[in-house]
Structure 1
Amino acid sequence: MLYRQDRREPPPWAHEIIRQAAQLLSVALEQQKYLTAILTTKEQTLRTLGLALEYRDYETKGHTDRVTQLSLELAAALGVPVGEQEDLQRGAYLHDVGKIAVSDQILLKPGRPTEEEWALIRRHPVTGYEMLKHIPALSQGTLEVVLRHHEHWNGGGYPDGLAGESIPRLARIFAVVDTFDALTSERPYKRAWSVHEALDELQRMSGKVLDPQIVPVFIQIKQSGVQESAQKAE
């Protein structure tokens, strides 16, 4: 027999080791509970900052949650590590926080803004970055999403005219999703485009405004989703 049950009572020193181990495990579990609560609170706080703009600008209601979810789906499909996905999620929550500094007369204006008004709106990535950069809990990846999500692949974006892979990858990923949601959402100056129309437009923007390696992956995700919805409806 390879194993024989030993019915002898463990020595006193073994009882003490077991007791101490149990105490340490209890403390560790309690700390983990509080850590989880803290992290959950932090995520909800960041999301709330993003949602605050939706209560101010009712035309974009649901935008924050939509772009966050789609960004994470796209990042996962691209093989982005989990830690960077968390940075992207927080950047998605906060990407438009700089619009807090844009007046209601401009932000809620019916009709297309003037060139002067667009110039003020285009300041929002820098304003958001300046507001957030001193928060220790926010990573550089998150801040880059806020600052760089309107840079264009061909260098024609803002605020600094970065081009190609000099634009941080998380910002390039988010730009595809943000553009799609803007196209498919109603605005005071435009109707909401259909998914098909928006995907065609993303294809036209690929290699110009948007990363040509990321756009096809996003299109595939959305087309697969449309096909699944159609099959369920049958």
Structure 2
Amino acid sequence: MLNSKQILILIKKIRWLKKKESPYKILEEYNIKPEIKQHMIRVSNYTEILADLMCLNKLEIEEIKKGALLHDIGKQEIPDELLNKFTKLDEDEFKEIKKHTQFGLKILNNKKYAKTRIENVILLHHEKWNGNGYPFGIKGKLIPIEARIVSVTDCYDALTSERAYKERFSHEKAMEILISESGNSFDPDIISMFELFQNKFEKKLKEYR
């Protein structure tokens, strides 16, 4: 029989072990395609850096990072022939692709990770600053900051990664595209911060190459 002091020590040890668990453990709960999984891991790491630069608190950063780690789980429901299509998607195909944000929210439903910030990232990371995004076409600061942050890191990883329909771009080319979309697709303040500390993202990118 453990005494109160031993129980307290055990509780502290359990908490310590939980902190030592892989941050990617949550992905084990979903049967995620390898290429989607690796993309989400990279985006999660970029997101942690950017959220910290945007002066969010520890809880916010932790939840946004988890949201980024799950942001594309809805693509599990999208046919591979669409995700890996070599040519431009037609209108109907793009409509199908856009459903992945809502599919993701359904997959997340009733899970312990279904917290507001995580849900916002999954559902709203394709909204655009100018209101031309999806699924709702909301604009500016009506888009939660967690979704605005992940929209940037998601795009950065997509640009610097090889896809079936494109070669990977250099960090410099990716930055050029991101900056050109400041005030259109992306929050100008977030892009300014990303640009100011771009060396941090380039350093992380080099770890993946």
Report the TM-score when normalising by structure 2: 0.87
**1:110 corresponds to which letter in structure 2?**
F
Offset, 1:191: 1.4
Offset, 1:35: 4.0
Unaligned runs of 5+ in 1: 1-21, 230-234
Which residue number corresponds to residue 49 of structure 2?
73
Which of the numbers 1, 4, 7 marks the counterpart of 1:27? 7
Q: 1:61 and 1:38, CA in 2 relative to 1: closer, same or farther beyond 3 A? A: closer
Deviations 1:25-55 (A, max 9, x none): 32012123334445666944323357823x2
Percent of residue pairs identical: 31
- 1:205 is the counterpart of 2:181: yes
Give distance in 2, aligned partners of 1:201 and 1:65: 22
Which of the numbers 27, 37, 44 marks the counterpart of 1:47? 27
Tell whether the 8 Å contact from 1:129 to 1:143 is kept in structure 2 after alignment. yes
Tell whether the 8 Å contact from 1:49 to 1:94 is kept in structure 2 after alignment. no
Tell whether the 8 Å contact from 2:51 to 2:61 is kept in structure 1 after alignment. yes
Offset, 1:144: 0.5
Which of the numbers 122, 130, 134 marks the counterpart of 1:146? 122
Offset, 1:101: 0.8
Give distance in 1, aligned partners of 2:202 and 2:81: 38
**2:60 corresponds to which letter in structure 1?**
E
Tell whether the 8 Å contact from 1:49 to 1:97 is kept in structure 2 after alignment. no
Tell whether the 8 Å contact from 2:24 to 2:69 is kept in structure 1 after alignment. no
Q: Which moved more, 1:69-78 or 1:27-36?
A: 27-36
Aligned positions, number:
203
- 1:106 is the counterpart of 2:82: yes
Give distance in 2, aligned partners of 1:36 and 1:111: 49
Give distance in 2, aligned partners of 1:51 and 1:204: 36
Unaligned runs of 5+ in 2: none
Give distance in 2, aligned partners of 1:159 and 1:106: 18
Q: 1:132 and 1:33, CA in 2 relative to 1: closer, same or farther beyond 3 A? A: same
**1:109 corresponds to which letter in structure 2?**
K
Tell whether the 8 Å contact from 2:32 to 2:76 is kept in structure 1 after alignment. no
Larger Cα Rg: Structure 1 or Structure 2? 1
CA RMSD of aligned residues (A): 2.5
